[in-house]
A and B are shown apart, each in its own frame.
Chain A
Amino acid sequence: MTATKTKPKPLVIPELCKGCGRCIEACPQGCFTLGSEINPESGLIPVVLDLEKCNACGLCFTACPEPFGLTPVADIPHPEDVDHEAFMMGEATIRDDHYPDEIPPQKIPMPDLPPLFIKGTYASAIGALLAGCRHFYGYPITPSTEGAELMAKVLPDLEGTFVQAVSEVATVNMMYGCGGAGLPCMTFTSSPGFSLMLEGISYMIGAEVPGVFVNIMRGGPGLGNIAPEQSDIKLVSRGLGHGNTHAISLAASSPQEMLDLTMLAFELTFKYRNPVVLLGDGYLGQISGKVTLPREMVKPGLPSWAVYGDAEHRKNLICSIALSEKELETHNYKLTDKYQRMIDNEQRAELYRCHDAEVLIIAANTPARMARGAVGQLREKGIRAGLFRPITIWPFPIGLLLPLLDQVKEIVVVEASNGQLEDEMRLALSHEHVVDLPLIDHIRHFGGVLPQLEEIVDHISKDNLFEDSEKNGNAWKKGGRS
């Protein structure tokens, strides 16, 4: 009860109390009783005060008509010395002890079902349902809304909750609450909407609350357009709101993966008590593809930390505030350790024909589909190409890239963004102290223009690293060598 320490409690000055009893009525705690002894100085009968139950609400001070009958006493600090927010909020609010038992999630076998032929957004929604998600919050935004619309259709009949919130700001805060209750919840959004959610995501990360954000990225900045771009790689990797934040972000490149990675996202979000972002792009949201259903679905459990709203979980507290400097630093160390565990354990990538690759194409989401085709054609031309496809954008799968670097002569990052993926790769290389970099080249597009298969093949064929041509005029590549 640190907060109450600095709040004043009353002191009755018997010689100045006239015994009118107004404080008796005012006090909700029943601290005052009528007295029985006459005060020799005043000749009146003052009230008797018992501070045992006093919570320092202060109501009696204003009730007392005597200027000095009842006075507040406490070691009241000078107002200028009081950190008002700290005073109002109390401290030591982040707790992690006294948890009730966890109810673990269960895997339930699925019957053999024929494959589906569905859009990426639908596949993700189905993945969420199979992962046990029954709570959806969202605000319509193209090209993500169809996923939400599927949830709107089915959730009410699954005893679930679908809420079209009044905005993305409302959405993320509903998720904060729902995730805080220990329930799997999700949203579908697209870049402008995701921008609005960042504040709430920072709170969720600070308070260690799970939630799955499916971001079907579109062209930016600003309103941009509704066509595919990988516009938010930077946001999910380096910009999840204010403070020391990180979250695992998964990048899908087929409707099948939209389902699989959505299910994985739910697993990871509870494993780490941290939001997880699934990145698709406008193209992936819309294209249909064959989707095989998993062998198992999940019946969610209930984490011990959940503020579930029953007697058992009553002691739990979800909050991201830690006012004392020491406490907040400790909390941040704890978060940082957690991020390190994600970096150590969750890096994922697909390596396609990489075993002997000299030219390594790095691409994720839809551009990876084109790059995969390009690998085949390049190999036909005698260029030993391979595709390294990060599935986790953060953490960047550097651990899987490093072993390839000995044989790789050139890396070509193919992306539908201004180099946001390349930046992540370069940062990861730098953290690994890789000095002897292969050539790093790139193909970049924006605004819904996607890198095309022929373009990649032409670019890399012309690049003819092996023929030593005038491409040395490219200062960018020279820079890459150093």
Chain B
Amino acid sequence: MFNVSLENLVDIDLEQYSLQDYQGSTPRWCSGCGDNAILSAVQKLCRDEQLPPEKTVFVSGIGCSSRFPHYMKTYGFHGLHGRALPIAQGIKMHRPDLHVFVNMGDGDCCSIGTAHWIHALRYNMNMVAIMHDNGIYGLTKKQASPTSPKGLVSNTTPQGTYMEALNPAMVNLGVTNVSFFAQAVEWVPDMLNDIISQAYHHRGFAFVRVLQRCPHFTPTMFDPLLSNPNNILVLEHENGIKLSEAAGRIYKNHESHDPSDIQKAREYAGRHDIVPVGILYRNPEVPCYDEIRRPKRVFTPEMKEAVLNREFDKFSVDIDSSEG
């Protein structure tokens, strides 16, 4: 006899997390909003990786996309506009055992939070950062963002924006210690799932820019990509994403790109004729600040006491003699 009881089997079953275990409150996003697609990809990842909800935390800034943590049944931190990354860094520093995810909008990350973004790349702490890039301020009702395409008419740019959009790919790939950058479109679930999963498995700061539709304010922004899939260049590689057969029939424009090649990654990032989708760069060897700074030994209460006493001793005065 192997001593297998039905009870044990049921127990095993119970320990499996299902999608429902990650589904928080019902999303309030508009129907057709690409944030829904990102949410379902992320929930799938959690289920596939069986991340314990109590060991998983979603941190966000402020924006439509930043409502993300409310819709996850994990830990969540709906932070301040632009400040999601420093909050997440604080969490990761002290709780390396947690799986940390960050959700930011393009205004959140590329406008008010830019300084934090640059330094998060440099710190390279273990977490996944997803930028929901709809090229617009959604929550505040249609103002231009740094990633809005040039000429976009919005409520603060009634004559159209004046400048070329900021290219987040180039910024990421230009910062010291960048270790993972991928680009996805939210409307191709296969590729999105694959990219988010690889971001999760990366050691270091994995930044994923997801082009995200905002049907409410900019319903036509991504039409060139949606109506002509050849405007998307899929970067495949055995160390990158693999195009499924079905997707391959639609996305005929694909090239092999080794994600360890940063020069090539920068070339793709700088292209204006196509939008590269896939893993542009990955280097798991870059040191991670959270690992470097992790205490290397255990401190007993006695050791801590000794440290304090050593410091206090430097300043203590002998009252009797000083009064003399």
Contacts and interface: CB of A to CB of B under 8 A. Distances in A.
Interface in B29-82: 62, 78, 80-82
Interface stretch (A18-26, A46-54, A94-102, A159-167): A159-167
Interface string A204-224: 000000000000000000110
B11 to A, nearest CB: 42
Contacts of A152: 155-158
Tell which of A145, A148, A162 has the most Cβ of chain B within 10 Å: A145
A142 interface: yes
A22 to B, nearest CB: 36
Interface in B153-188: 155-159
B158 A153 contact: yes
Interface string A251-290: 0000000000000000000000000000000000000000
A104 interface: no
A160 to B, nearest CB: 13
A140 B82 CA distance: 13
A139 B137 CA distance: 11
B128 interface: no
A28 interface: no
A149 B156 contact: yes
Nearest to B137: A140
B28 interface: no
Contacts of A149: 143, 155-156, 158
Contact of A166 (B62, B111, B137, B155): B111
**A141, A145, A164, A223 — most chain B CB neighbours (10 Å):** A164
A49 to B, nearest CB: 44
B146 interface: yes
Interface in B130-150: 137, 139-141, 143-144, 146
Nearest to B107: A140
Given A166-B112, A192-B81, A142 B140 contact: yes
Nearest to A167: B112
Contact of A164 (B80, B81, B114, B156): B156
Interface in A166-206: 166-168, 192
A65 interface: no
B80 A140 contact: no
A166 B140 contact: no
B140 to A, nearest CB: 4
Contact size class for B? 20 to 34
Interface in A410-460: none
A164 B144 contact: yes
A104 to B, nearest CB: 33
A156 interface: yes
Contacts of A222: 80
Nearest to B155: A149
Contact of B140 (A145, A162, A167): A145
A162 B143 CA distance: 13
Interface string A134-155: 0000011110010011001100
Contact of B80 (A142, A148, A223): A223
A162 B139 CA distance: 21
Contacts of B112: 139, 166-168
A141 B81 CA distance: 10
Contacts of B141: 142, 145
Interface string A379-404: 00000000000000000000000000
Nearest to B81: A192
Nearest to A152: B156
B144 A141 contact: no
Given A140-B140, A142-B140, A142-B141, A167 B155 contact: no
Contacts of A162: 156
Contacts of A145: 140-141, 143, 155-156
Contacts of B137: 140
B62 A223 contact: yes
Contact of A140 (B146, B156, B158): B156
Of A139, A153, A192, chain B has the most CB atoms within 10 Å of the CB of A139
Contacts of A148: 156
A57 to B, nearest CB: 32
A421 to B, nearest CB: 27
Given A166-B112, A167-B112, A141 B140 contact: yes
A167 B82 contact: yes
Interface in A111-153: 139-142, 145, 148-149, 152-153
A165 to B, nearest CB: 9
B155 to A, nearest CB: 4
Nearest to A157: B159
A164 B158 contact: no
Nearest to B144: A164
B135 to A, nearest CB: 14
Contacts of B81: 192
A142 B137 CA distance: 12
Nearest to B78: A223
Given A141-B140, A192-B81, A223-B62, A167 B156 contact: no
Interface in B176-202: none
Interface in B84-116: 111-112, 114
Contacts of B158: 149, 152-153
Contact of B111 (A142, A156, A167, A192): A167
A38 to B, nearest CB: 55
A164 B159 contact: no
Contacts of A164: 143-144, 156-157
B82 to A, nearest CB: 7
A87 to B, nearest CB: 28
A194 to B, nearest CB: 13
A145 B142 CA distance: 10
A164 B156 CA distance: 7
Given A166-B112, A166-B114, A167-B82, A156 B140 contact: no
B206 to A, nearest CB: 25
A129 to B, nearest CB: 16
18 contacts: A139-B112, A140-B140, A140-B156, A142-B140, A145-B141, A145-B143, A149-B155, A149-B156, A152-B155, A152-B158, A153-B158, A162-B156, A164-B157, A166-B114, A166-B146, A168-B112, A223-B62, A223-B80
Q: 9 smallest A-B Cβ distances: which pairs?
A: A167-B112, A140-B140, A140-B143, A149-B155, A166-B111, A164-B156, A152-B156, A153-B158, A142-B140
Given A139-B112, A223-B78, 15 more contacts: A140-B137, A145-B140, A145-B141, A145-B143, A149-B155, A149-B156, A152-B156, A153-B158, A162-B156, A164-B143, A166-B111, A166-B146, A167-B112, A168-B112, A223-B62
Interface of A: 139-142, 145, 148-149, 152-153, 156, 162, 164, 166-168, 192, 222-223
